[in-house]
Amino acid sequence: MLIPKKEGQPINYDIYEKFTPAENKLEVMDGVFLPFNNEREKMLLLCLYNMGLQNFVDILPNESKEVLKELIYK
C-alpha cells in the first residue's frame, strides 16, 4: 500500500504498473472516471504518493481547502 506523505515520493515501474489501469487505458463510463476495480482510488493514491500532500493542498482552490478541513476535523 502506498502511504502519501507531506513531500512527494518517487515511483518505479513496478509501482506504476500496480496502481494504473490495465494496459494504462483511461476510461469514463456514465460520467465516472475509471469506474472499475477501484482504479480511480488506486490512480489517485499513486498521484498523491508521487506529488506529496503539500503540493496537493497547494493546488486546491480555497473553497476545497475549507471543505477538506471540515472533513478532517469532523
| 36-65 residue pLDDT tens | 888 889 999 999 999 999 999 999 999 999
Q: Which amino acid is at 49?
A: Y
Please indicate, yes or no, if residue 62 is contained in any of the structural domains: yes
pLDDT score, position 11: 96
Please indicate, yes or no, if residue 4 is contained in any of the structural domains: no
Please indicate, yes or no, if residue 57 is contained in any of the structural domains: yes
pTM for the model stands at 0.86
pLDDT in tens, 1-20: 899 999 999 999 999 989 88
Residue 37 and residue 57: Cα distance in Å, rounded? 27
**C-alpha 68: how far from its chain's center?**
15
Please indicate, yes or no, if residue 36 is contained in any of the structural domains: yes
Please indicate, yes or no, if residue 48 is contained in any of the structural domains: yes
Please indicate, yes or no, if residue 1 is contained in any of the structural domains: no
Domain that holds residue 60: 13-72
- Structural domain count of the chain: 1
Residue 10 and residue 61: Cα distance in Å, rounded? 25
Q: Which helix (H) or strand (E) holds 43?
A: helix 39-51
**C-alpha 33: how far from its chain's center?**
12
Please indicate, yes or no, if residue 3 is contained in any of the structural domains: no
